[in-house]
Amino acid sequence: MRAYKAKWIITAEGEPLENHYLIVEDGKVIDVLPHEKVNFDDLVKVKDFGNAVITPGFVNLFTQLQYTDINKYRSKTIKSFIKRIFKNIIRKYIFAGIPQSSYVRGLARMYKEYFCWERTEKIRSFKHGLEKAMLSGTTCIAQVSKENKYFQILNNAPIKTYLFFELYADSRDAGKSEFRKISSKIEYFIKNKSDNMFIGVAPCSLSMVHKRLWKIISKYARKNNLLMLIRIAESQEEMDWLKHGFSDIDMLHMYLGMRKLNPYRQNISPVQYLKDLNVLSKKVLVANANYLSKDEFKELADTSVKFVYSPRYDDLNHGRKQEFKDVVDLFGENFGFGTESYFNIEEDHSLINEANYANKDNILNCIDLIKHLTIYPAKILKLDSIVGSLSKGKHADFNVFNLNENESYCNILSKANPDMVYVNGHRIVQNQQLRKAIN
C-alpha cells in the first residue's frame, strides 16, 4: 500500500479533511485516514505533498477534441489546398447573403477546415485536445464524434473515456441506414473496448436528425441501457427552423450534403418536440438549451434529464446561455460542466476555468462547485461506483494542487491546472507536464 498526504484532501463526499492520508493499493482507494489511524508498517511508500490539496479527478461531460487545432493549424499539403479552394467556392455560393457572424456560417467554416485536414492531422488535433484535457486534471471525458479513427486512441488512454457516437439523418431511409451502421459499430466496439471505456449515442440535434431515427435510436438506447447526449435549442437558427419549418440551417444541410430536413411538427418548443417522440428520460444528457425560456428550461428539468453546462462555448458562439442560478436551482445535482469544441479559445480545456466562468456571482461555494466537477458528473455518466470521489473501493484518480503560503483549499479555483494528476494510483502528470505521450 501507498499513502499520499496533503494539507487538505477534498473527497467530494464530505467536508475537506485536514492533514489526512489517502491510502491506495492496486490502483484503488483503501481509505482516507488521519495520522493516528494509519498503520505505517503496512505502507511501502508515503508521499507527503505538504502544503497542497488533493481532489478527485475531474469529469468533463462534453468534449469534441478533434476540433482542438481548428484556427490554430492549417494543412499545407497540395491535396488539402485543392480541397480548401473547392470548399471555399461551395461555401461562398451556398452562404451568399448570410452574415459572416451567423452561427451556421461559422460552423461551416469550422467544418471546412476540418474536412481539409489529412487523417494524420485530425488525429494530431485530437491527441492535442486529449493532452490539454489531461493536463487540466480531467481524468474522465465524454467525447462526441462520428468517426471510428478516435476509438483506439481513447481505448488506449490512461483516463476513463465515454465515447458518444454522433448521428445524423435527413430522411426516413437515411435514419434506418444510420441506425444499422451505428448499432453494428456499437456492438463491435463494446466487444473490443477496454474496461476504462464506455459507449453512448449522440443524435446531433433536432435539425439534424429525422424523427424516424429519433424513435429507433431512443428505443435502442433504452433496451441496451445506453446513455444518450443531445444538443437542443442551441442556436437561433434552430429555433427558427422549428418554428417556421425553414431557416439558415437549410444552408448548412446543403453544405454538408444533406437534403432539406423538415421538423415533423412546427411551432412547438424543443422540449415538447422530443417529449412527443418519447426521447427524454433520466438516461439522457442535454446540452446547451440556450434559447429555452425559463418555463421551458423548467419543463426540461422536470423530465429528469441531466444537463451539460458549457457557458464559455455558448457565450462565445451564441452570445447567450442559461443563467447559472437557474441551472443550479432547477437541476441541482443533475448537472455538470462540458467544454464542447474550443476551436475559438486558445488551448483551454480547463474545467476549473469553465466552473469559475459560470460561478462569477458565487452562486455555489467552492466545495459544492468542485462536486459539480467530480462526483455529480460521475453519477450522471453512471460511473460513480469507480470515479468521482475519493471513497473506499474507487479508482485512485486524483489531482494535486500545490498551495502558496497562507492559501487554503478554495484557492485551487484560481489554478487552471493541477501540478500532478494520478490515474489508478499512477502519476500521469508531473509538474504540469505529461509523463508519457499519448499513443
Residue pLDDT tens, the chain, 439 long = 999 999 999 999 999 999 999 999 999 999 999 999 999 999 999 999 999 999 999 999 999 999 999 888 777 777 776 777 767 777 777 888 888 888 888 888 888 889 889 999 999 999 999 999 999 999 999 999 999 999 999 999 999 999 999 999 999 999 999 999 999 999 999 999 999 999 999 999 999 999 999 999 999 999 999 999 999 999 999 999 999 999 999 999 998 899 999 999 999 999 999 999 999 999 999 999 999 999 999 999 999 999 999 999 999 889 999 999 999 999 999 999 999 976 555 557 899 999 999 999 999 999 999 999 999 999 999 999 999 999 999 999 999 999 999 999 999 999 989 999 999 999 999 988 999 888 8
Distance CA 417, CA 134 (A): 9
Amino acid present at 422: Y
Asked whether residue 372 falls in the same domain as residue 412, the answer is no
Q: What is the pLDDT of residue 349?
A: 86
Distance CA 359, CA 366 (A): 9
Asked whether residue 318 falls in the same domain as residue 215, the answer is yes
Contacts 24+ apart (CB under 8 A), 296-300: 296/233, 296/269, 296/270, 296/271, 297/322, 297/326, 297/330, 298/330, 299/269, 299/271, 299/272, 300/232, 300/271
On whether residue 188 sits in a domain, the answer given is yes
8 Å CB contact between 207 and 240: no
Distance CA 81, CA 87 (A): 10
End residue of a domain, out of 380, 399, 419: 380
223 contacts: CB under 8 Å, gap ≥ 6: none
Asked whether residue 375 falls in the same domain as residue 236, the answer is yes
Asked whether residue 275 falls in the same domain as residue 397, the answer is no
Question: Which has the closest alpha carbon to 116: 89, 150, 149, 77?
Answer: 77
Q: Model-level pTM?
A: 0.95
Asked whether residue 415 falls in the same domain as residue 326, the answer is no
Residues of the domain holding 34 = 2-56+388-434
Contacts 24+ apart (CB under 8 A), 368-372: 369/413, 370/10, 370/12, 370/55, 370/412, 371/12, 371/333, 372/335, 372/336, 372/337
* Grid cell for residue 418: 493541477
The DSSP letter of residue 365 is -
8 Å CB contact between 403 and 411: yes
86 contacts: CB under 8 Å, gap ≥ 6: none
Handedness of CA 425, 144, 192, 377 (dihedral sign): positive
Asked whether residue 242 falls in the same domain as residue 307, the answer is yes
Question: Which has the closest alpha carbon to 59: 136, 117, 140, 116?
Answer: 140
Looking up residue 97, the CATH number of its domain turns out to be: 3.20.20.140
Q: What is the pLDDT of residue 216?
A: 96
Q: What is the pLDDT of residue 347?
A: 58
Q: Which residue is associated with the grid cell 441531466?
A: 306
Q: What is the pLDDT of residue 346?
A: 56
Strand partners, 337: 309
Asked whether residue 31 falls in the same domain as residue 174, the answer is no
Asked whether residue 40 falls in the same domain as residue 184, the answer is no
Distance CA 30, CA 396 (A): 9
Whole-number Cα distances in Å, 43 to 26, 29, 52: 12, 14, 21
8 Å CB contact between 412 and 55: yes
Asked whether residue 363 falls in the same domain as residue 415, the answer is no
**Structurally, how many domains does the chain consist of?**
2
Asked whether residue 26 falls in the same domain as residue 153, the answer is no
On whether residue 439 sits in a domain, the answer given is no
Q: What is the pLDDT of residue 345?
A: 53
269-290 in b/e burial notation, b at 16+ Cβ within 10 A? Answer: bbbebbeebebbeebbbbbbbb
On whether residue 114 sits in a domain, the answer given is yes
Q: Which residue is associated with the grid cell 483503501?
A: 30
